[in-house]
Amino acid sequence: MTSKADQDRVLIFDTTLRDGEQSPGATMSHDEKLEIAEMLDDMGVDIIEAGFPIASEGDFEAVSQIAERSKNAVICGLSRANFKDIDRCAEAVRKSARPRIHTFIGTSPLHRAIPNLNKDEMADLIHDTVSHARNLVDNVQWSPMDATRTEFDYLCRVIEIAIKAGATTINIPDTVGYTAPRESADLIARLIEAVPGADEVIFATHCHNDLGMATANALAAVDAGARQIECTINGLGERAGNTALEEVVMAMKVRNDLMPFQTGIDTTKIMAISRRVATVSGFQVQYNKAIVGKNAFAHESGIHQDGMLKNAETFEIMRPEDIGLSESSLPLGKHSGRAALRAKLEDMGYELGDNQLKDVFVRFKALADRKKEVFDEDIAALMRDSSSED
Ligand code: KIV
Ligand code: ZN
């Protein structure tokens, strides 16, 4: 499917509104979903998985309105492997200029046992459901859920069936976050090599973060030939979450020498959507989260602050502006040095001679030993005390 010219282009498939919303407690309102979808569309996400239309009337309505409003992105809905789900999904995405149906079934031994289907029965069902979806829309994605724990031969067999039945994207989910990076790459490379017709479709990677390897696994899959990454803002998602959009996009941008792939994402919009998703989902971002954590561009220790004041590249591999932040922060605390205190004082409009700075620095350190972070108000109070004692 990818032309030669597109071979370095990696499609970004965002599933914040579907897999992300499946996080227990992350439910978003109808209006919030429309707002997030608009932000995703504006930032250049290629495919928005807007929901699971059969799941509820509310999900159907949200997918349907997102399909109607979105300007650029392909709008996708999820459906299980049955005609009723697929019909409902087709109805929900109908108003999109570029609709996609994503249908899936669990193919690993554990998952095959649930509907109690043998391998042949499941293969027939895959053929019938993918063909049905393809009769309704031109753009069909098929996923063998728990692909990474499915027997390789059977995986090849069902992928071939899905391709013959009309799937245009084959997604390889690591549903339980079990895979390691080398294995993730190996699986994609072997599938592309072994499955007849593989070069006619796009292979996607869909990773979960149960062992903290979702980003590494997704990037390894891309290295091996996958050209669509499924991800969510802030890594929101079931259990430990999904691959974080901001991480894979920034990794390919910052280390383009190692991963020479392009996305269509305007990275300067990352911070705004991260904050909005945190607010509407109620899932706050951990302080030290890569790219979007409060501390991702913050430096407290004296050596780091001094380096940052001289040349930001000493301790930063990307610029805060790249993700839409105005500047890095140098919070003051007990590890901070004189250079950062002087810079902060100058910023606040104080001009101090060396002796006065020495004195304020001693007081600052004593305060910082008692407080986790020293704020501007604390510095102002130190300065007031220091001038009243003169
Ligand atoms: O993790 C998973 O397997 C999924 C599928 C529905 C694609 O989210
Ligand atoms: Zn998932």
188-205 tens-digit pLDDT: 999 999 999 999 999 999
Residues with CB under 5 A from ligand 2 (ion): 19
Ligand nearest to the CA of 78: 1
CA of 255 to the centre of ligand 1 (A): 28
Q: What is the pLDDT of residue 289?
A: 98
Average pLDDT, integer, range 211-236: 98
Q: What is the rounded CA–CA span in Å between residue 96 and residue 337?
A: 56
**For the segment 17-61, what is each residue's pLDDT rounded down to a tens digit?**
999 999 999 999 999 999 999 999 999 999 999 999 999 999 999
Using alpha carbons only, how large is the chain's radius of gyration in Å? 25
Q: Find out whether the beta carbon of 215 lies less than 6 Å from any atom of ligand 1.
A: no
In degrees and rounded to multiples of 5, residue 59 shows phi and psi of -65, -40
Average pLDDT, integer, range 178-182: 98
Q: Find out whether the beta carbon of 218 lies less than 6 Å from any atom of ligand 1.
A: no
Provide the pLDDT confidence category of residue 4 given band limits of 50, 70 and 90.
Answer: very low
Q: What is the pLDDT of residue 232?
A: 98
Average pLDDT, integer, range 139-153: 98
Q: What is the pLDDT of residue 148?
A: 98
Q: Find out whether the beta carbon of 173 lies less than 6 Å from any atom of ligand 1.
A: yes
Q: What is the pLDDT of residue 293?
A: 97
Average pLDDT, integer, range 369-386: 91
CA of 174 to the centre of ligand 2 (A): 8
Report yes or no: 208 and 175 within 8 Å, Cβ to Cβ. yes
Q: SS3 of 240, please?
A: coil
Q: Find out whether the beta carbon of 143 lies less than 6 Å from any atom of ligand 1.
A: yes
User: Looking at this predicted complex, what is its ipTM?
Assistant: 0.99
Report yes or no: 80 and 105 within 8 Å, Cβ to Cβ. yes
Question: In the chain, pLDDT over 90 holds for what percent of residues?
Answer: 94
Task: Enter the tokens of residue 103.
Answer: 């249908």
Closest residue by CA, ligand 1 atom 8: 19
DSSP state of 333: -
CA of 14 to the centre of ligand 1 (A): 13
Reply yes or no on whether the pLDDT at 278 is more than 50.
yes
